[in-house]
Chain A
Amino acid sequence: MNELFGYIFIVVGISFDFFGCLGLVRLPDVYNRLQASTKCVTLGTSSILFGLFLFKGFSAAGIKALLCIVFLLLTAPVSAHALARGAHKSGVRLWENSVCDKYLEDTENE
């Protein structure tokens, strides 16, 4: 039974990873691409690791997979945040059809 659920989690994870990569190709600018890649890849990879945990149970590999999920959830958003902030600071502008850029307005006023 656990193996079945493990397979389901791994397949779902791989398909989310695939959508993340597709977003990386299709979306127009840095920020939108970061959105797609961070969200999909974080949950996709966590899901693959959880599937691995279901296969292995509470063994050495299973526990490490769970730890990896925790570290991934803590660090992936931070790196996305750092990349987005760095891109904006070094002058990468938003896509031309974007609605508003409050950050640019505020940083230029200072």
Chain B
Amino acid sequence: MKKSQIILFILSLLIWTFLTWPPDIQHIIVGILVAGLVSYLTGDLFVKRPHHFLSPARYLWFLYYIPVFIWECLKANIDVARRVVHPDLPINPGIVKVKTNLKSDTALTFLANSITLTPGTMSVDIIPEEGILYIHWIDVKDKDIQKASEIIVRRFEKILSKIFE
């Protein structure tokens, strides 16, 4: 068994255990069989760089990322709710272009998802080779690529690069 397959096996067995909570011996046996089959077949597709799973610093940064993300998410909701109930509908939408330094697929996926769930921004398209994202912004503050990147991307980029790069 390769490292990536073992990681996928552990992950899928964990999810299976949660799905069939409370754990008992029958469910665990079926889970081991299914997780073993899945990880044997698709281990290489899911985990590309298994050594990343072994460094504890990444998990700590991920723990730090969760409250930051929840806070931004909450702000996003209050912001959108305010715009929606405001009688004048204060929106100023447009699609802007931002640039990121992240390279790996996982990091870019997480960045795009975080951008979608944070105040006023939603990712429309992504060019992974050049690190360019097209963002629909409900209240455009700056059309310039540098300044828009500064406002939208920088919040998450540092943390995400420590977790996934």
Q: A27-B89, A39-B117, A84-B136 are in contact. Are A100 and B124 (CB under 8 A)?
A: no
Chain A residues in 8 Å Cβ range of B94 = 94, 98-101
A42 touches B89 (CB 8 A): no
A104 touches B95 (CB 8 A): yes
A-B contact count (CB 8 A): 131
B95 touches A23 (CB 8 A): no
B80 on the A face (CB < 8 A) = yes
A4 on the B face (CB < 8 A) = no
Question: Which of these binds chain A: B18-26, B43-51, B55-63?
Answer: B18-26
Number of chain B residues whose Cβ lies closer than 8 Å to a Cβ of chain A: 36
Number of chain A residues whose Cβ lies closer than 8 Å to a Cβ of chain B: 48
B21 touches A31 (CB 8 A): no
Chain A residues in 8 Å Cβ range of B151 = none
A100 touches B77 (CB 8 A): no
Residues in B lying within 8 Å of A, measured CB to CB:
15, 18-19, 21-22, 73-74, 76-77, 80-81, 83-85, 89, 91-97, 112-113, 116-117, 120, 122-125, 134, 136, 138, 140, 143
Residues in A lying within 8 Å of B, measured CB to CB:
16, 19-20, 22-23, 26-29, 31-32, 34-36, 38-40, 42-44, 58-60, 63-64, 66-67, 73-74, 76-78, 80-81, 84-85, 88, 94-95, 97-104, 106
